[in-house]
Structures are given as structure tokens and as C-alpha cells.
Amino acid sequence: MEKKLIITKDGSPSFEVGALKETYHSRHGARTESEFVYIQQGLAHWHRQQQQCRVFELGFGTGCNALLAYEYAQKHQLTLEYTTIEKYPLTETDLEALKQHTYASTATGQDFFQLAHALPWNKKETVSPSVHFEKILGDYFEYSPKTRFDVVFYDAFGAHAQADLWAPTALEKAVELMDTNAVWVSYCAKGSVRRALQSFGLHVERLPGPPGKREMLRGTRVE
Ligand SMILES: C[S@@+](CC[C@H](N)C(=O)[O-])C[C@H]1O[C@@H](n2cnc3c(N)ncnc32)[C@H](O)[C@@H]1O
């Protein structure tokens, strides 16, 4: 997939994929969207009840969500186990372009960002005393972990670009990855996605979205 680096409205980078007519993040602000949807409505929401969190992310991509989760965990003393899967990793050329910019707000965050991209695939690493990180090279549809997760960052490309990842089968798989009380978050607000998640037993909230989006979804596994 050929990509072009873009700078979004908050000054943070993202990629545009011409063939998919899609971007990795919102053009209204890549970092702002990730911080709002995944960190505030996902990780911080979970942290109000629990001191540790097992995150599963669909789509490592630029590593923006992973970095923001790391910075959150360091700042708020959250014990974090972060697992992310990626089927189409960035190329060396993409990475070089991305590294001219930053999502980090701390020096340790920036160090983590560099490390996260450099670490080998499919190997769980201790990146700080309270943060474990693993990136899996593979297809979400073939992923079958032994553990369950507390928070799912469902960050697939939009349905017009990758309809299969928003179909009921894919969403049911995400629910199966979730432990009781676990939380699923996404920038997506599609009615069909909300109804599918509800049919698989999640309590789904329609929350105000990040800049440029009226709504987003958060689901909680109540059974
Ligand atoms: C919207 S981008 C995610 C952005 C990413 N979370 C970030 O912070 O940059 C979607 C990501 O999902 C990946 N992806 C697409 N299909 C996938 C699949 N079947 N399994 C795993 N990853 C997939 C894409 O390559 C892309 O990196």
C-alpha cells in the first residue's frame, strides 16, 4: 500500500493511503483523535476502576496509540500490558518520514516510540518496570491469544476501505477477546457496528466524538 505522509490539523503526522481513499487518523488531528478516543474514553476510563490494564490494539500502524498509552501509564502509575497487531507494517521509507515528526510529549515517550518500532515482532518485551509491550505481525482474523483483554482499541481503517473489519464476524471476534467488564473503544459511530456489538452482549454508549466527529462508540462487556 503506497502511503503519503500528511500533517493533520493539530500538527501531528499521519499517512494517506491513496488506493483506499483513507488516512491512518483524522485529518482534524491525529494525536488529538487518539488521545480523545483511545486514551481518555478507553484507557483512562478503565483506570478509574483498576490499577492495571491489558490493552489489545487492532492496527499498530504509526504507533501513535501505543505511545500515548505508554505516556499515560508512566504519568499515572498504571501497570500496562499492551498487545498490538499489524498486518501491513510501515516500510523503512514510511518510518523515516514519520520520524521527522513526533507524537510524544515527553522525552521518555519519544524513546519508547523509537524502541517500539525497533523491537522485534512477536516477542513480549518489558519496556519499563510497569509496562510490557508486544507487537504481533499478523492478521487480526487469524489471531487467537491465550489471554483476554481489559481494553480493546479497535482502530481499523474505515468501513468504506475495509468493510470486513466492521462486519459482525470481526466484531464478535473482538468481543471474544474481552474479559468480563472489559471495554471496546473506536472512533467509529456506525449504527450497524453499535447494533452488532449489542447483539454480542456489550452495553454500548454513544459518546461525543473527537474534533470533526459528532459521535464515537464505547462498549462494555457486561456478561
Ligand atoms: C486506521 S490505521 C491504525 C492506526 C494506528 N492505530 C496508529 O496509531 O497509527 C489501521 C491499521 O490496521 C492495519 N490493518 C489492516 N487490516 C489488518 C488486519 N487484518 N490485521 C491487522 N492489522 C490490520 C493497517 O495496516 C493499519 O496500520
Give distance in angstroms: CA of 25 to centre of ligand 1.
10
Supply the residue whose CA is at minimum distance from atom 25 of ligand 1.
88
The CATH number for 41's domain is 3.40.50.150
- Say yes or no: CB of residue 61 within 6 Å of ligand 1: yes
Per-residue model confidence (pLDDT) at position 223: 75
Cell of 133: 509491550
Per-residue model confidence (pLDDT) at position 178: 98
- Say yes or no: CB of residue 64 within 6 Å of ligand 1: yes
| Number of compact structural domains in the chain | 1
With respect to residue 14, please indicate whether it lies within any of the assigned structural domains.
no
- Say yes or no: CB of residue 33 within 6 Å of ligand 1: no
- Say yes or no: CB of residue 155 within 6 Å of ligand 1: yes
Dist CA 136 CA 124 (whole Å): 9
With respect to residue 99, please indicate whether it lies within any of the assigned structural domains.
yes
- Say yes or no: CB of residue 112 within 6 Å of ligand 1: no
With respect to residue 189, please indicate whether it lies within any of the assigned structural domains.
yes
Per-residue model confidence (pLDDT) at position 1: 79
> Measuring CA to CA, how many Å separate 95 from each of 18, 43, 90, 118, 196?
18, 26, 6, 10, 35
Domain that holds residue 109: 29-221
Supply the residue whose CA is at minimum distance from atom 4 of ligand 1.
61
Per-residue model confidence (pLDDT) at position 45: 98
Quick one: which atom of ligand 1 is closest to the CA of 66? 8
Per-residue model confidence (pLDDT) at position 188: 97
Q: Average pLDDT by consecutive 10-residue portion of the chain (223 residues)? A: 95 96 97 98 98 98 98 98 98 96 96 97 97 98 97 97 98 98 98 98 98 97 89
What is the 3-class SS of the chain, one letter each residue? CCEEEEECCCCCEEEEEHHHCEECCCCCCHHHHHHHHHHHHHHHHHHCCCCEEEEEEECCCCCHHHHHHHHHHHHHCCEEEEEEEECCCCCHHHHHHHCCCCCCCCHHHHHHHHHHHHCCCCCCEEEECCEEEEEEECCHHHCCCCCCEEEEEECCCCCCCCHHHHCHHHHHHHHHCEEEEEEEEECCCCHHHHHHHHHCCEEEEEEECCCCCCEEEEEEECC
